[in-house]
Structure 1
């Protein structure tokens, strides 16, 4: 595929675009083409004209993503400024897919709307929907009303929550659909209460997670099938970090990759890691956990693209 074969756009089309700098892990090869649409109309016209046999992958801010070293074939779409709006209508919050989760939480809290669970979730609203992101016992599925999406053929659909089949860290989106915005229904609470809650959440996160390191958030889903509740009665036996610790894999390394010693469910680029190092270490952990506990850890981090011939 060459650039002249692609539709004319108002946004930015970049051929052979290295993706490593767009991911939190800072690894990975190039996309054949990176498309950054100017707005929804630009995205719609592009997808309408793009041949259906050209593969499309949508990435957010790269907070939950490893791009393999060989890069991604086809078109990678990354939404930007034209998809970052927030609108309030009573207790409804409509947020563009590229809006950071933390930004939505802060803006909502200032109006007395409780979306505080989003404050410590890395990434953007589109990814939060796709992954049914959650923490402290709350998930996107609890508050999500509907999603606006541009389909692979360029048409626009409003998808109800029931259409998305939201489960723990997963959803079922139509093939090739691009989420452009989401509507959530928030509960009203005292502004200061919400502010205090977010401060406490941030303090707890910084105390327990390696927020200064190059990670992509939690590496594996909890075998328990739910995220931490943050409550005193929270149990840890089937938490991913606990079974990793029990398998002796805290601090395990491969190349420049390490299972973080502060929180062992955070796969980390400690310096110079390749995607192959990171994914390989993750598979080492999965194998060891299965050998020691009989549990099969499921990846929470998305891995996309192709390896290099060397792996």
Structure 2
């Protein structure tokens, strides 16, 4: 099957190591890594690709564990052609590869309040796919539309009527690659918006291991849900709290650790494998369930194959 891959204008690399493309710095190789030249290149490639070939769109690897055996099929990674940001009135349209922090800053420059994005790690495509949020705001609250290319190469526009949003997830079709996202923000004073983001950054850096190799929050908060799928962020039951009560703050496995600074952060202390990180996470889930009857749900996406033993 790999002998019959389409020939794109972009870069197609066999056996590309993915560890250097994830924030946790772990993971085996992609069978193929495709970096399309533009949207048309991606659409043509997917349309010609054998439908049996798995396709995984990858962002900046901020919320991802790639297992040590790597990934079969084609990993699609968008680059510079998918980073543009434009503003039109109260609408901000950004390429899926644009970093959330950069989108927040560009919006603030234009007096548009998307400040909740500033401290969310990763790119806007990933933020849409997982309905990222903080400070009581979610992508769902601001979402207008998204340009995507489906697995068969079809280009389409998704609106609010096409996506079901839930806490830390959406039902965007499997294999679909998000190209750009349009969000609507409220108006605000540019200087005040930038000042608010600086305060948010200071608070984050004081409470989270931002200088360590992490992938953000490991588990979703086991909070209540409303009928719209929104989480109750004011709920007392937080993932870090139940992890602490299970005695797993600072727990280690190989080079992996549940952070001493914030126990809902998995940290690569040096030399960790994906198996170390995922295994420690599963140990935490087991201990929390045993001690409190609460089943933690992974927020970090885990993909790929384990190493054959």
TM-score by structure 1 length? 0.96
Describe the superposition over 1:133-181 as per-residue Cα deviations: whole angstroms up to 9, x where unpaired: 0000000000000111001111111111232211110000112211101
**C-alpha displacement of 1:308:** 0.6
- What residue is the counterpart of 1:187 in the other structure? 186
Distance 2:261 2:130 in 1: 24
Matches within 5 A, 1:91-170: 91-170=90-169
Name which of structure 1's ranges 259-268 and 171-180 shifts more when overlaid on structure 2.
Answer: 171-180
Post-superposition Cα deviations, 1:158-210, rounded to whole Å, max 9, x if no partner, equal 11123221111000011221110111011111111101100100000000000
Matched, 1:171 2:164: no
Gaps of 5+ in 2: 225-229
**Distance in 2 between the 1:228 and 1:68 partners?**
32
Alpha-carbon distance between aligned partners in 1 of 2:231 and 2:171, rounded to the nearest angstrom: 19
1:227: Cα distance to partner? 6.6
Alpha-carbon distance, 1:10 to partner: 1.1
What does residue 268 of structure 2 align with? 269
Give yes or no for contact 1:136–1:228 (8 Å, CA) kept in 2: no
User: 2: distance between equivalents of 1:181 and 1:86?
Assistant: 9
Secondary structure in 2 matching 1:268: strand
Residues of 1 paired with 2:120 and 2:29: CA distance?
Answer: 27
Q: Tell me the equivalent position of 2:278.
A: 279
Q: CA RMSD in A?
A: 1.2
Q: Does 1:14 align with 2:27?
A: no
User: Structure 1 residue runs of 4+, over 6 Å off?
Assistant: none
**Contact 1:135-1:227 within 8 A present in 2 as well:** no
Equivalent residue, structure 1, for 2:227: none
Deviation at residue 228 of structure 1 after TM alignment: 8.5
1:141/1:166 contact within 8 Å kept: yes
Aligned length in residues: 304
**Could you say which residue in structure 2 is the equivalent of 1:44?**
43
Q: 1:228 to 1:209 in 2, by over 3 A?
A: farther
Separation of aligned partners in 2, 1:227 and 1:239: 11
Paired residues of 2:223 and 2:232 also in contact (CA < 8 A) = no
Tell me, in whole angstroms, the C-alpha distance in 2 between the residues paired with 1:257 and 1:175. Answer: 30
Q: SS at 1:149's partner residue? A: strand
> When the two structures are superposed, what TM-score results if normalisation uses the length of structure 2?
0.96
1:211 counterpart SS class = coil
3-state SS, counterpart of residue 23 of structure 2: coil
Listed as ranges, the gaps of 5+ residues in structure 1 are none
- Once residues 98 and 162 of structure 1 are traced to their aligned partners in structure 2, the CA distance between those partners, rounded to angstroms, is 24
Distance 1:86 1:212, change over 3 A: same
Q: In structure 2, what is the Cα distance between the partners aligned to 1:162 and 1:271? A: 45
Please say if residues 136 and 227 of structure 1, whose CA atoms lie closer than 8 Å, have aligned partners that are also in contact. Answer: no
Q: Distance in 1 between matches of 2:197 and 2:49?
A: 43
**1:1-80 matches, cutoff 5 A:** 1-2=1-2, 4-80=3-79
CA distance in 1 between partners of 2:16 and 2:190 (Å): 43
Deviation at 1:5, TM superposition (A): 1.8
